[in-house]
Amino acid sequence: MGFGDFKDKLQGLSEEHGDKVEQGMDKAGDKAKEKYGHDEQVDQAVEKGKDYVGGDEEQPPPPPGQ
């Protein structure tokens, strides 16, 4: 499965179960903050993930640091 297939699958899940997908992303973010700290960065990553999964972006986001 390539990245495009994975993205399409996530967007399909988001369309069907958007509220549950967002809840799962929030829970994963909370666990990451508990384990690693860096609350602001984790929150930003979760929000970008929500935008990406729910958005109509054609291109994947740039790698971190670019």
Model pLDDT for residues 1-53, shown as the tens digit of each residue: 677 787 777 777 767 777 888 888 999 999 999 999 999 999 999 999 888 77
Which residues, 6 or more positions from 46, have their beta carbon under 8 angstroms from its beta carbon?
25, 26, 28, 29
Greater confidence, 5 or 63?
Answer: 5
Tell which residue, 65, 29, 33, 66, has the closest CA to residue 47.
29
Greater confidence, 2 or 60?
Answer: 2
Please state, in angstroms and rounded to a whole number, the distance separating the CA atoms of residues 24 and 33. 14
Residue 60 — pLDDT band, cuts 50, 70, 90? low
Task: Find how far residue 28's CA is from the centre of its chain.
Answer: 10
> pTM of the prediction?
0.60
Residue 57 has what pLDDT?
Answer: 46
